[in-house]
Amino acid sequence: MSQATANLALPLIAAAQASKHVTHNEALTALDSLVQLACLDKDLAAPPAGPREGDRYLVVTPSPAGPWAGLSGQVVRYQDGSWIGFAPKAGWFCWVVDEGDLYTFDGTAWIGFRATLTAFQNLARLGVGTTADAGNPFAAKLNAALWTALGTGEGGTGDLRYTLNKEAAARTLSLLMQTGFSGRAEIGLTGDDDLHVKVSANGSAFLEALRVNRSNGTLAHVAGTAAAPALTPAGDANTGVFSPGADAWAVATGGIERLRVGSNGRLGLGTATPRSTLDTGLGTLTGAANDYGQAQTTLSGGGSVSWGGAGGRLRWTGRFLAMPMSRPTAQNGYIAITQPTTDIPAAQCWDNLARTADPTGIVLTPWDALYAVHPPGGTASSVTLWVVNYASAFVAPSNWLLVAAHNGDDNTIKLGTGAILRAGGTATAGTDAHYAPRLPSPDNTLNLGGPANRYALCGHRRHQHLRRPREITPGAAVRGGDRGLGGAGQADRHLPLPRGGPPQGSGRAAPRRADRPGGDRRPRGPRARPLRVRLHLPRRARPRPGGIGRDRGGGRRPLRLSQRRAAAVPGPGLRGAAHGPRGGVSDRTGAGPGSGTARTPSAPPATRSSRR
């Protein structure tokens, strides 16, 4: 029969053994040492100083010293002033207090539990340096983490791929970065399968900064503003590009928008609302030589143009033409502006109020200007009408052609053709009269009348302000010379010949003798009797060499023109019926309505009366 137990080697009491208590006490001491085995340390090579009764140590050093000599690999206990060793068996567990680790004896050596643990399966929670909870079943509290690839020499591929997966596209898979447990940035697939980069200032409201499309790889960024553009250079937060709205793109410098491309493809420099393909706003543009040729194009045509004045309408029956235009600027070589039949939209009017327009005309308010905007390279009819107002600062872009401008002072309208119409006036291109107001400069020419009844008053830089009489008889012409009104010779040479030409059957043109001092020498032959024009001077006015109507004080006196007709004369007309050495009066066509006294006597007037 064995003297000890098989597993713990506890001594057994033999039959009729003396001092049975000694054997029993040894067995109890062994149980106290090995049951719930926990050793204070395992790294000592010799007993510690001042051990306490019952202290246990695990001796793993191959050559322990002192009282532990020969006890390598055993569990030792301090008992009654000496060290007792217990030889372990395979499978024993020992908790090492100073390491907080559990060791197992494999039959040869003590192995730490952490070293023997090679797999974790189906863990509910795992905390590294902290406590995992239901909301965070895996938690780690550490200052650094290292992931490295398993090399090819270790049986790996040398690659390292961190894989995350979500259930469906509508779910979220992201990496959330926090400060003080408040979110500040998020990267991942949030709500779809595109890659999103978001930021937050408070942890609750997130702004999307970037998005990468999963289908084509395109990159979208936040819209931004002029003060905070979406894409900026490092160190310059208010300079860059941004999107001011849908289908629009802009560039800002110094927090101010400088350039914009609108959804309609128009480019604006210095303006956020480009009005044409290239709009320089209130600035100046220097472009290619074929872009509208300085844009100072004069219109022609228009058919019959009428102006109703304030509250009335501007209407033209034909088309205004701007030509010639270079082919790169206008495909057809010209630009045509036709009468609109629908209202001009509010977006194209300076005050954001639509302008009424229909076949009867366009309503323009005082100081309104109507422009035709033509896109470079467009066809002849590629024109939109815009209304601006001269009461505010405005510089027309190079592709804006003036159609008409309403003068709020005198209620006239100036056409792009150069004609000026009074309220209620009408002008027909190429035929009818164009009203011209009194000009501030004395060096001017006033041409009035139609093709059948024309006259001209010509001023000169030396005389005083030329005052237009209230009414002047059509058919008379007076030109001022270098000595004042009446000082120009051959006045009729400044006008075209009247319609009709020389008398039929005469075989020759009527001679011109208006340039000869002393009056007219009448051409011989039937029907060649000229008209006479009288100059009515005030009593105080005295004719002087080189001028008519100069009073004693050297000033001007108003004069009145009248004409007398002896017979119907279809010939060239009167030459110098009354003139000085350098001036005269000429009638080309015949009498007409006016303030002058028109008479048709039965006989020609006397030479003396015609020269008064």
**More reliable by pLDDT, 25 or 143:** 143
Question: Does residue 9 sit within a domain?
Answer: no
Of all residues in the chain, the percent with pLDDT exceeding 70 is 65
Half-sphere exposure of 461 (CA within 13 A, CB side): 0
Residue 489 confidence class, pLDDT cut points 50, 70, 90: very low
- Does residue 160 carry a pLDDT above 60? yes
> Considering the chain, what is the average pLDDT of its residues?
73
Structure tokens of 468? 């237009």
Predicted local distance difference test score (pLDDT) of residue 215: 93
- The structure's pTM equals 0.40
Name the domain boundary from 116, 145, 163. 116
Predicted local distance difference test score (pLDDT) of residue 324: 61
Distances (CA, A) of 242 to 67, 213, 291, 560, 586: 83, 19, 29, 71, 71
Do residue 476 and residue 342 come from a single domain?
A: no
DSSP assignment, residue 223?
-
Beta-bridge mates of residue 388: 369
Q: Are strands 368-373 and 384-389 parallel, antiparallel or unpaired?
A: antiparallel
Lowest mean pLDDT among 294-298, 364-368, 591-595: 591-595
Most confident segment among 196-200, 291-295, 480-484: 196-200
Query: How does pLDDT run across 339-370, given as a tens digit for each residue?
Result: 999 999 999 998 889 999 999 999 998 999 99
**More reliable by pLDDT, 271 or 594:** 271
Nearest-angstrom CA–CA distance, 249 and 232: 14
Predicted local distance difference test score (pLDDT) of residue 17: 79
Structure tokens of 75? 């569990």
Structure tokens of 526? 């039937």
Do residue 52 and residue 179 come from a single domain?
A: no
CB 211 within 8 A of CB 195: yes
Nearest-angstrom CA–CA distance, 191 and 138: 24
Do residue 340 and residue 461 come from a single domain?
A: no
Residue 479 confidence class, pLDDT cut points 50, 70, 90: very low
Do residue 97 and residue 214 come from a single domain?
A: no
Residue 417 confidence class, pLDDT cut points 50, 70, 90: confident
> Which helix H or strand E contains 479, and what residues bound it?
strand 476-481
The candidate with the shortest Cα–Cα distance to 473, out of 535, 534, 561, is: 561
| Residues 4-10, mean pLDDT to the nearest whole number | 70
DSSP assignment, residue 4?
B
Predicted local distance difference test score (pLDDT) of residue 430: 67
Residue type, 456: A
Question: Does residue 260 sit within a domain?
Answer: no
Alpha-carbon torsion 34, 38, 44, 50, what sign? negative
Do residue 72 and residue 110 come from a single domain?
A: yes
Query: How does pLDDT run across 116-135, given as a tens digit for each residue?
Result: 777 888 999 999 999 999 99
- Does residue 183 carry a pLDDT above 70? yes
**More reliable by pLDDT, 429 or 111:** 111
- Does residue 521 carry a pLDDT above 70? no
Name the domain boundary from 116, 133, 153. 116
Do residue 215 and residue 352 come from a single domain?
A: no
Q: What's the angle, vertex CA 200, arms to CA 196 and CA 201, rounded to 5?
A: 165
Predicted local distance difference test score (pLDDT) of residue 166: 96
The domain tally of the chain equals 4
Distances (CA, A) of 64 to 68, 104, 221: 6, 20, 71
Do residue 85 and residue 177 come from a single domain?
A: no
Predicted local distance difference test score (pLDDT) of residue 6: 64
Do residue 407 and residue 460 come from a single domain?
A: no
Range of the domain at 57: 36-116
Residue 31 confidence class, pLDDT cut points 50, 70, 90: confident
Do residue 455 and residue 599 come from a single domain?
A: yes
Do residue 493 and residue 566 come from a single domain?
A: yes
Do residue 607 and residue 467 come from a single domain?
A: yes
Residue 222 confidence class, pLDDT cut points 50, 70, 90: confident
Predicted local distance difference test score (pLDDT) of residue 278: 77
The candidate with the shortest Cα–Cα distance to 413, out of 501, 509, 333, 302, is: 302
Predicted local distance difference test score (pLDDT) of residue 493: 35
Lowest mean pLDDT among 38-52, 83-97, 382-396, 517-531: 517-531
Do residue 380 and residue 444 come from a single domain?
A: no
- Does residue 98 carry a pLDDT above 80? yes
Lowest mean pLDDT among 115-124, 236-245, 378-387: 115-124
SS3 assignment, position 26: helix
Extract the runs of DSSP E, i.e. beta strands, from 355-474.
357-358, 361-363, 368-373, 384-389, 400-407, 412-415, 420-421, 426-428, 445-449, 454-458
| Residues 103-125, mean pLDDT to the nearest whole number | 88
Name the domain boundary from 390, 406, 428. 428
Distances (CA, A) of 582 to 338, 544, 556: 48, 12, 18
- Does residue 518 carry a pLDDT above 60? no
CB 385 within 8 A of CB 364: no
